Amino acid sequence: MHDLKVIIILALSAALLLLIVFLLAASIFRRIHHQRKYRLLDGLRSFYERKLTADLIAGGADFAVEEYRTLPGSLEWQAVEDVLFLLMDEERYHGEAKRLFPGLGYVAFYEERLASGNKLVRESAIDKLGRMESGSSATKLFPLLDNTDPGILAVTVRALGRIGSREGLRAIVEKLPALLGRSLVARKAIETALLNFGAAAVPVLIEHHGEHPDPLVVSTVLGVLSRFPPESRAVFLAIEHLKDPDPEVRSRALRVLGSARENVPEHLPALILPLLSDPVWFVRLQAVRAARALACEQAAALLGRLLFDENWQVRNAATQALTVLGDCAIDVFLDALTLYAADAKEDICEEIEKAGFTRRLIESLGNSDLAVRTKSRQILTIMHALGFSAPLAEFALHGVDAGARQAVQDILASGDMR
């Protein structure tokens, strides 16, 4: 009995050892096989890149296309596809490379794969058709906008965005409520896709926005509109939503208004001011940025209060906004640096220095307005006392205005005022 147990143990050990050896050999074989495959693929890519580039330079696309027709799924097939995608990234070859995809059978091949039961195969096919900018494939992708799988949905809207057809744009916009409700991944992909359509998306989004009062749809539309120079309709659309109950909608409406350079109504600053006191921090942040972009001098006093906001992003943005408002900001900064604690003062001084407003304060030392000169000197003295002296030291050595240079030297000689 004892001998039998020993034999069984030895047999099991031998079997386990053989299994380990087999798995190790299989792993080594796969590695060698893959190394050889990738080496061959690299060589084929280099060959086809040289040949195809030379043919395109020599005669556009009027060369023997058959020389590039290969067996689907082969290494040559993959190499030609990789080279065509590479050439599409270059403006001079973009159009010809795009035309070769259907001519060599790639579009038809990946359209057939849209019906695959394998999710990864379907996602890859959708992505490839999008990268090929295959306009003829758009209608075949539309049904996939009803798919409930977030991965399929995200890659489909990205592909339609790359294709860029007006029909694809309308298909996405018309299904926005359903699309946006499915997943966070889909939301991000939808915004990216809409941006890929460029300025052509703007009138379509404005036209359809009223049909979908859902806050998620409205915030998405406003978010996309904020990335383009707003036309008058976009500006007025944003104004309509400044009092929306949803903070995301208010925030994105402010982003649209902050990017406006033309078509700005005279009463717009007055509409932005109340939002500087919004209970939601990211709405206050966008209100500050809008006030800065529009150089809204009426906002100076409210921005001064936000220098001590509970949110650091709002505090920094308020300081930066004040630095673009010119002399009207001097009173605000002086009050802040006079009345509040040292740690808060240091944050304000840091932002003043980063924004380059120190230079304006130094130049104001030569201002004809006595009040402006006096207040600028007081701010610079406090900044020096808190250790923010580098711009002062630089001006004291190289400043052109003799009077301002002497005033700066006097400030530097005043020592630590803390």
Helix axes 247-258, 281-293, angle to 10 degrees: 10
Q: Which amino acid, one-letter code, is at 413?
A: A
Domain assignment present for 245: no
End-to-end CA distance of the chain: 93
Report the pLDDT value the prediction gives residue 354, as an integer from 0 to 100. Answer: 84
- Report the chain (418 residues): mean pLDDT per 10 consecutive residues: 69 74 69 70 88 79 73 89 91 89 93 92 94 93 89 90 89 83 72 85 80 79 85 85 92 89 72 93 94 87 88 90 84 83 78 85 85 89 88 85 84 66
Domain assignment present for 386: yes
Residue 29 neighbours by CB under 8 Å, 6+ apart? none
Distance CA(230)–CA(289), nearest Å, equals 16
Domain assignment present for 295: no
Helix axes 166-174, 150-163, angle to 10 degrees: 150
Domain assignment present for 22: no
What predicted TM-score, i.e. pTM, was given to this entire model?
Answer: 0.71
Distance CA(31)–CA(384), nearest Å, equals 65
CA 316, chain centre distance (Å): 21
Q: Which two tokens stand for residue 182?
A: 């499915």
| Domains identified in the chain, total number | 1
CA-based nearest residue to 136, from 158, 168, 104, 113: 168
Coil, helix or strand at residue 63: coil
Domain assignment present for 189: no
Domain assignment present for 364: yes
Asked if residues 146 and 157 have their Cβ atoms less than 8 Å apart, the reply is: no
Domain assignment present for 296: no
Domain assignment present for 387: yes
Q: Which domain holds residue 375?
A: 328-418
